[in-house]
Amino acid sequence: MQIYDVVIIGAGPAGLAAAIQCRENNLDVVVLDEFPRAGGRLLGQLHQEPNGQWWNGIEESKALLERAESLETDIQLGVSVHHIEKLDDQFVIHTKKKYFHTRNVLIATGAAESPAPIPGWTLPGVMSIGAAQVMTNVHRVKVGEKGIIVGVNVLSAAIARELQLAGIELHSMALPTRNVVVDEQSDPRLVMDRLSRIAHLAPSKFIQLGSKFAKYKFVQSLALKYYPTNGIKMWGMPIYLNKAIKQINGTDKVESVTMVDVTINGDIVENSEKEIPVDFVCIAGGLYPLAELAAVVGCPFIYSEELGGHIPIHNETMETPVKGIYVAGNITGIESSKVAREQGKVAGLAIAHKELNSIDIEEKLQAAVRNVVATRDAASIQFHPGISEGRKKVSTAFQETMKTQKELELVR
Amino acid sequence: MTNRIVDHPVLGKLEERQKVQFEFDGKTYEGYENDTIASALLAHGIRTLRKHEESGNPRGIYCNIGHCFECRVTVNGETNVRACLTPIKANMIVESGQVQPHPLNPSQEGDIPKTYAEYLEQEGRG
Amino acid sequence: MSAKNYEVAVIGGGIVGCSVAFYLAESGLDVILIEKNDIASGTSSRCDGNVSIVDKDPGFDSHMSWVSQELIEDLSKRLDRPFEYRKSGSILVCDNDDEMQAAVDWVKTQNEAGLKFNVLDRNDIKSESPFFADDIPGGLECETDSLINPYMFCYALVDKAESEYGLQVKTRAEVTNITKEGREFKIQTTNEDVRAQKIVNAAGVWAPFIGKMLDVDIPITPRKGHILVGSRQQPVMMRNVMEFGYLMNKFGRERIADKRTTEHGVALVLEPTESQNFLLGSSRQFVGYDPTIDIRVVETMARRALRFFPKMNDFKIIRAYTGFRPFTEDHLPIISEVKEVPGFYIAAGHEGDGISLATGTAKLMEEIINEKTETIIPKEPLSFDRFKKSEVYA
Ligand SMILES: Cc1cc2nc3c(=O)[nH]c(=O)nc-3n(C[C@H](O)[C@H](O)[C@H](O)COP(=O)(O)OP(=O)(O)OC[C@H]3O[C@@H](n4cnc5c(N)ncnc54)[C@H](O)[C@@H]3O)c2cc1C
Ligand SMILES: Cc1cc2nc3c(=O)[nH]c(=O)nc-3n(C[C@H](O)[C@H](O)[C@H](O)COP(=O)(O)OP(=O)(O)OC[C@H]3O[C@@H](n4cnc5c(N)ncnc54)[C@H](O)[C@@H]3O)c2cc1C
Ligand code: FES
């Protein structure tokens, strides 16, 4: 039976970057991913950086994959991992087809989109914003002729632009009307606040505009109060913080949406209903770390709103308190793919260092850790304004967990 | 196949790919190598991948990356396969999910069957 | 702290606590139910829903089940919220001819006790489900067994008792300490303190921790069980089935099975739910309070299911969960006052029978607290004192 040095779960930027580091140090590695192509969510990404250059996810993925392949990395696609079993000195990765025995595991499963239910959302033609991104940029299939985007955030603004580039018509972007699940996405003040605090780095004209009037809370309120009835336009498409989608209509597929006006508090203005014909709807509920596998193998968690949800506790070299289990990429908090890639490098080097214990690797590891911070600071897409605070919380939690672990060992 | 994005201002022209034929609910469709079941069907304008087991409401993809299981179909006899993660293969047989019987539903008429034989009888299949 | 002084505080909002609170409130007492999380958040939502006699030892055990079945049938008519009550009977299937012989004897004994049991032959098994293996020699049926959805039942009880009998319910209130002040208990919780004259400890597998607060040692230990949930698909069968070996596991008797099946205490239970999922169980292990799903146990259970349902290989399992059965040494619950601490009562320790026995338990507890001379079932076999005796004589 083969025992791997490391099994990497997820072939996104984090997983691939880690695999490259491990292979450069000659470790026995296998990368597993359930998606039929390597690259993870990086594949679908396409945005213009502030310097005008395009960030082309397909190309970036290809570069990572080619490097990994030149190092003869074993990458197995179409393989879903459903369990990690912890034995005394190794782990067993359970997939549908077979078991993989390994000394170390890197969990780099990325993020998932929070569902944002609104009436009619199960109709064919309603999809998450990320679904539309993948269909458009990866599969190159149009999601429809004319659609609307429900939910205004960095990701939906970026993907709206991508849909437009592919020649798909968008009526507008608007908020969902309030319900218990979409409470935060439906509050114009919260949405405005979030957008404005990350505006200086946004790739979109709209959000940059927001930053001008939105540095202070009272200015934001004013801005909302005097929000143009026809929305603020981004590349010709209106973005409404004063209109919301109440329901999606159709019998066998999407035929239209019902749009209403909302007040600055997100309350529906009476008799303002309008029906808008569309054949698809994208719902943007935000991202959260996809961390079940870390939970299954016993990693402790901490909740961080700034990082997007429940985060497996880890230190700056991506180790968790469960010896041999590492995490990298969006499972550690929602950030751009560049940060994920740098985190992957760190994790790969940390695993190599654990297995080989060389000074050379240690130095590279320290440099890679610094690089994560530098990349974060320079990121052109930031999902939450408070990422650095979130990171601090996680590392404090790691120290505390290790301290308690030690104390418990002493007691025993 | 009108729904393909053939020319893209940044990503460029869609590359030539191998054609692949597969079957969905008894009809033959053509897609390309690397298409998933979901993308190949959407290229033909097909959004409905199954009917809800209970209500019969139509369902299609939601997340398109394997997380939500909304796109589950039967592939070569295997149930609950995610159409958004499964590449099409030549001669693959894909079937949409259908409404399932609900023999223990208390709101239906008559006694709730105790055995499978009784259930078949009630269905008129005994 | 609320100045109010309740007549009875029931600790634990599982099926036992909810049933006890229901009958006590109905009898006119001023009752509060205290639960650390939500109603039915403990074992009573991590189990099956069998209200069965089929797996009970003939005698007191099966009599108590029968009494409980009558009560639950009555409640199915009286409670306002439906709780998926289905009186379909249930069956046991045998693995081999030896078990079949034992099953025939079992039916005879149960019939002699006046219970409605029948022997099933090969053909009967086939008409139960087309998915059964061809080589199953037969089994038996208990006609009166029924199925409920345990957590819906808990909510149905609480709802009715709150709206009609004045029951107070306090959730998200973990009891952290209890002190006796004169004839009254002061119960500290994480959500305000409560005062009551009497306490019923219905904290299931956590009952020993409540006991400790009053220096009472309660001999209940957690016996972990796994369950798999099948995806909604074509119907498998219409009523609950267990394998005969289940009885052997439950009572810790010798059984012919492979090593892993024995080690994990696995025996087939398949419950078709009203919504057409099926629950596939189960395992029995003493491994403390660790709720983690053990994939090896899951595999053993799946393998065991294939013995009886070979075609299940193609079925999809969507998730798994675990629960803790409150185990006592003699397989009977404790439904009793605690003589050393007047006013302190225990209703816990139902192991794998809490769903079946909750109503009988609750009725008896109500009768004990209201000091009735006649009780629905004899209370001696369930008394807390029985453990002390065995200590003395051991
Ligand atoms: C729908 C979506 C769209 C996004 N769009 C953008 C964008 O436009 N711009 C941007 O900057 N960021 C975007 N992000 C954020 C994105 O998560 C990061 O940019 C980056 O891709 C994270 O890299 P990663 O390696 O951590 O994870 P990912 O790139 O998500 O890769 C994780 C991989 O793990 C695989 N996986 C997960 N679970 C399992 C399992 N159990 N078994 C096997 N394989 C598994 C997945 O198939 C996936 O390929 C998006 C995220 C999502 C979810
Ligand atoms: C896998 C499995 C399958 C089973 N199948 C069946 C079956 O088919 N038929 C059957 O009859 N039985 C079955 N059982 C057994 C049955 O589930 C239990 O006997 C029953 O649920 C026990 O109920 P309870 O109310 O005593 O305990 P619980 O439901 O655990 O209730 C105790 C409550 O006390 C609360 N609590 C604990 N500590 C405190 C505190 N300090 N303060 C406040 N509240 C507290 C807990 O949160 C909990 O809600 C099964 C059990 C398992 C594990
Ligand atoms: S669409 Fe979500 S899993 Fe396929």
A64 shares a domain with A158: no
By alpha-carbon position, which residue is closest to atom 48 of ligand 2?
C42
Q: Which of A127, A141, A254 to mutate to test the interface with B (most CBs of B within 10 A)?
A: A141
Chain A contact set for B84 (CB, 8 A): 131
Low-confidence ranges of chain A (pLDDT < 70): 196-219
Q: How far is B87 from chain C (nearest CA, A)?
A: 21
Ligand 3 atom closest to the CA of A131, numbered from 1: 1
Place of tokens 């990994």: A68
Among residues B102, B63, B105, which one has the least CA distance to residue B85? Answer: B63
Residues 77-116 of chain B with CB under 8 A from chain A are: 84-87
A204's tokens: 């979109």
Tally of domains within chain A: 2
Q: What is the DSSP string of chain B?
A: -TTB--EETTTEEPPP--EEEEEETTEEEEEETT-BHHHHHHHTT----EE-TTT--EE--SSSSSSS-TTEEEETTEEEEETTT-B--TT-EEE-B-PPP-TT-TTSSSPPPSSHHHHHHHTT--
* Residue B2 pLDDT greater than 80, yes or no: no
- Residue A338's pLDDT is what? 96
Q: How far is C124 from chain B (nearest CA, A)?
A: 9
A270 shares a domain with A340: no
A8, A108 Cβ separation under 8 angstroms: yes
B64 — contact with chain A (CB < 8 Å)? Answer: yes
B39: Cβ below 6 Å to ligand 3? no
Tally of domains within chain B: 1
ipTM of the complex model: 0.94
- Residue A217's pLDDT is what? 61
In whole angstroms, give the CA distance from residue B46 to residue B124.
34
Ligand 3 atom closest to the CA of B61, numbered from 1: 1
Q: Which of C226, C228, C290, C295 to mutate to test the interface with A (most CBs of A within 10 A)?
A: C295
- Residue C392's pLDDT is what? 42
- Annotated domain spans of chain C: 5-46+150-219+330-387, 90-143+221-327
CATH code where residue B34 lies: 3.10.20.440
Ligand 2 atom closest to the CA of C271, numbered from 1: 8
A130 shares a domain with A276: yes
A180 shares a domain with A57: no
Of A234, A267, A285, which residue is a domain's last?
A285
Look at the domain C5-46+150-219+330-387 and name its fold: FAD/NAD(P)-binding domain (3.50.50)
A276 shares a domain with A295: no
Chain C contact set for B77 (CB, 8 A): 314
A271 shares a domain with A125: yes
A38's tokens: 């390597």
Residue B112 lies in a domain: no
Closest CB from B11, B61, B66 relative to A34: B66
- Residue B123's pLDDT is what? 84
C240, C274 Cβ separation under 8 angstroms: no
pTM for the model stands at: 0.90
Of A227, A257, A285, which residue is a domain's last?
A285
Give the count of Cβ contacts less than 8 A between chain B and C.
64
C326: Cβ below 6 Å to ligand 2? yes
Among residues C314, C354, C307, which one has the least CA distance to residue C136? Answer: C307
Question: Which has more confidence, C21 or C292?
Answer: C21
Q: Say yes or no for a CB contact (<8 Å) between A85 and C292.
A: no
In whole angstroms, give the CA distance from residue A40 to residue A56.
13
| Percent of chain B topping pLDDT 90 | 84
Give the count of Cβ contacts less than 8 A between chain A and C.
6
Place of tokens 């009780």: C375
B37 — contact with chain A (CB < 8 Å)? Answer: no
Report the neighbours of B using a cutoff of 3 or more CB pairs below 8 angstroms.
Answer: A, C
pLDDT tens digits along C92-106? 999 999 899 999 999
A127 shares a domain with A98: no
Of A251, A269, A285, which residue is a domain's last?
A285
- Residue A199's pLDDT is what? 53
CATH code where residue A89 lies: 3.50.50.60
* Residue C370 pLDDT greater than 70, yes or no: yes
Mean pLDDT within C126-139: 96
Look at the domain C90-143+221-327 and name its fold: D-Amino Acid Oxidase; Chain A, domain 2 (3.30.9)
- Residue A229's pLDDT is what? 83
pLDDT tens digits along C292-328? 999 999 999 999 999 999 998 888 899 999 999 999 9
- Residue A219's pLDDT is what? 64
pLDDT tens digits along C55-106? 888 889 999 999 999 999 999 999 999 999 999 999 999 999 989 999 999 9
Segments forming the whole domain that contains residue A275: 115-285
A270 shares a domain with A170: yes
Residue B69 lies in a domain: yes
Segments forming the whole domain that contains residue B20: 7-99
Q: Say yes or no for a CB contact (<8 Å) between B5 and A58.
A: no
Residues 63-92 of chain A with CB under 8 A from chain B are: 78, 80
Among residues A390, A397, A396, which one has the least CA distance to residue A332? Answer: A390
pLDDT tens digits along C268-285? 999 999 988 999 999 999
